[in-house]
């Protein structure tokens, strides 16, 4: 049900699968376990999103430095999510989800200066990789950075699909490096692809009937409540 709903959100908004999955499953499982279940649906749906738009070669040529930063940062960040004590990773997950929700609600007007993408892209990728490895969420600072480039809607969705595909691979590599990627989790993750794709197909159809802005606000407000619960659970467990 988690992956089905995450697929619906992704179908309507073009984003949200790692956020929903880590938010819901991270409240009942360790962040490392939740992240291992996310890998196959996240990678497959983001590759689909990337290849469903024209200009894949141009996008790859433009964003490979950012992808390189993600591939470096994610394995380094997984040291937190795979630690023996899951509470720091859970608290970090809650904070990242809350920041993501508030940024989505406030719409800060950010712009990457002309010529800065050459160095800003790898830095944003490194930061995104570290946070993806530590929390399983790829959205920060990926979405604010990509949005600040001023891309058209289709190009923006395609870029996010490409970047999130790389983040999924990097997260999987980091989990495997820390021996936190059991075969059983990969099997369940592969099965979870079915409801994720079904939800994404339904969400794509609902996009024409549901007002995306209203749905996004409800989604983000619910995410804030969920992030508060995750942080409270991590802090109360530590106490």
Query: How many angstroms separate the most distant Cα atoms in the chain?
Result: 52
The predicted-structure confidence for 18-38, as pLDDT tens digits, reads as follows: 888 888 887 788 888 888 999
- Distance separating the N- and C-terminal Cα atoms of the chain: 32
Boundaries of domain holding 203: 2-238
Give CA–CA dist 210/194, Å, rounded: 23
Is 80 exceeded by the pLDDT of residue 114? no
> 239 pLDDT band (50/70/90 cuts)?
very low
Total tally of structural domains belonging to the chain: 1
State the pLDDT at residue 237. 61
The predicted-structure confidence for 30-60, as pLDDT tens digits, reads as follows: 888 888 999 999 999 889 888 887 888 999 9
The predicted-structure confidence for 139-197, as pLDDT tens digits, reads as follows: 888 888 988 888 887 888 889 889 989 999 999 999 998 888 888 888 999 999 999 99
Tell me the pTM.
0.81
Average pLDDT over residues 84-109: 82
Range 14-45 burial, b when 16+ CB lie within 10 A, else e = bbbbbbbbbbbbbbebbbbbbbbbbbbbbbbb
Range 54-71 burial, b when 16+ CB lie within 10 A, else e = eeeeebeebbebbbbbbb
* Mean of all residue pLDDT scores within the chain: 86
């Amino acid at each position: 049900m988690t992956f089905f709903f995450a697929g619906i959100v992704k179908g309507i908004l073009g984003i949200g699968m790692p956020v929903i999955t880590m938010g819901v499953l991270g409240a009942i499982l360790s962040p490392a376990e939740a992240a291992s279940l996310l890998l196959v649906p996240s990678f497959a749906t983001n590759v689909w999103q990337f290849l469903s738009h024209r200009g894949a070669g141009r996008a790859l040529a433009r964003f490979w430095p950012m992808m390189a930063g993600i591939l470096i940062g994610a394995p380094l960040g997984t040291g937190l999510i795979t630690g023996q004590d899951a509470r720091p990773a859970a608290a970090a997950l809650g904070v990242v989800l809350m920041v993501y929700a508030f940024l989505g609600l406030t719409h800060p007007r950010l712009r990457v200066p002309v010529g800065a993408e050459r160095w800003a892209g790898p830095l944003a990728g490194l930061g995104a990789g570290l946070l993806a490895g530590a929390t399983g969420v790829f959205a920060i600072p990926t979405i604010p950075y990509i949005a600040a480039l001023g891309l058209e809607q289709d190009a923006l969705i395609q870029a996010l699909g490409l970047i999130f595909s790389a983040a999924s691979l990097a997260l999987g590599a980091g989990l495997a490096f820390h021996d936190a990627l059991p075969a059983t989790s990969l099997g369940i993750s592969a099965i979870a692809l079915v409801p994720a794709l079904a939800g994404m197909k339904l969400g794509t159809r609902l996009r024409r009937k549901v007002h995306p802005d209203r749905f996004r606000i409800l989604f983000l407000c619910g995410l804030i409540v969920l992030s508060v619960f995750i942080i409270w659970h991590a802090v109360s467990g530590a106490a």
